[in-house]
């Protein structure tokens, strides 16, 4: 499903993201990459050179720390509760799925933190401490800082910051963002194990039941969401 993000300021607009919304250091590299590609497209000739250039743009922030002091200018209210950001925060990421930047897992369950799920209608809110921290996440040698999981998130930004939605960057003036679930869609994951085949057969059976008015569409959605939740929980 998609997550609705409303930007308020001099004008109000709505954005929908499927995967994640980033504010700060991770969006800065994407924005520099995007602007350079528009001005000098001849430099971007292959996936290999693109990765090198993206790394160079990200490495600039090792020294510059362009988003330092974010905790003083960005304020989080999650399900009505004010959440304090660590002073080292240089980036905030809100995730609809537990995958970032090509597959990095950004949320791990532990005492006090529930598991990440695409079925629960919540976003996972994490922060990163800078470009080096982002690099360490990609290398698998560090983890992001978990803030919370929430169904309704308000982000109040009182100065200009780079942002991106699913990799599409822009520079955002001061604004208030209201983020919540927009809708859900049934997604099937390709799998070869017996559990996965059982889920597919169940989906076919529920489609038949809904078409023949044995169950309602709402009941079909609830049953499938629970089936996927259990399948994900049992995965090794």
Its pTM stands at: 0.70
**How far is the C-alpha of 224 from the C-alpha of 157, rounded, in Å?**
38
For the CA atoms of the chain, what is the radius of gyration? 20
Return the exposure string of 67-85: e unless at least 16 CB atoms fall within 10 Å of the residue's CB, then b.
bbebbeebbbbbeeeeeeb
Specify the pairing of strand 145-150 against strand 152-157.
Answer: unpaired
23 pLDDT above the threshold of 90: yes
* pLDDT tens-place string over residues 37-87: 777 777 767 776 666 766 666 667 777 788 999 999 999 999 999 999 999
Percent of the chain surpassing pLDDT 70:
76
DSSP 46: S
Phi first, then psi, for residue 53 (nearest 5°) are -65, -40
């Amino acid at each position: 499903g998609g997550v609705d993000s409303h930007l308020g300021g001099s004008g109000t607009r709505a954005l929908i993201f499927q995967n994640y919304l980033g504010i700060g250091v991770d969006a800065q590299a994407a924005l520099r990459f995007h602007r350079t590609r528009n001005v000098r497209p001849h430099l971007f000739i292959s996936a290999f050179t693109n990765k090198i250039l993206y790394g160079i743009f990200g490495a600039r922030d090792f020294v510059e720390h362009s988003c330092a002091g974010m905790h003083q200018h960005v304020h989080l209210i999650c399900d009505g509760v004010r959440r304090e950001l660590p002073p080292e925060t240089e980036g905030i990421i809100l995730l609809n799925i537990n995958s970032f930047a090509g597959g990095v897992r950004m949320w791990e369950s532990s005492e006090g933190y529930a598991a990440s799920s695409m079925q629960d209608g919540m976003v996972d809110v994490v922060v990163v401490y800078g470009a080096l921290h982002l690099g360490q996440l990609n290398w698998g040698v560090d983890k992001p800082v978990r803030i919370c999981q929430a169904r309704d998130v308000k982000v109040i930004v009182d100065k200009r910051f780079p942002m991106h939605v699913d990799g599409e960057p822009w520079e955002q003036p001061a604004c208030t963002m209201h983020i919540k679930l927009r809708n859900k869609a049934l997604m099937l994951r390709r799998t070869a194990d017996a559990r996965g085949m059982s889920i597919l057969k169940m989906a076919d059976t529920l489609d038949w039941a809904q078409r023949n008015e044995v169950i309602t569409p709402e009941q079909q959605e609830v049953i499938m969401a629970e089936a996927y939740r259990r399948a994900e929980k049992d995965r090794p």
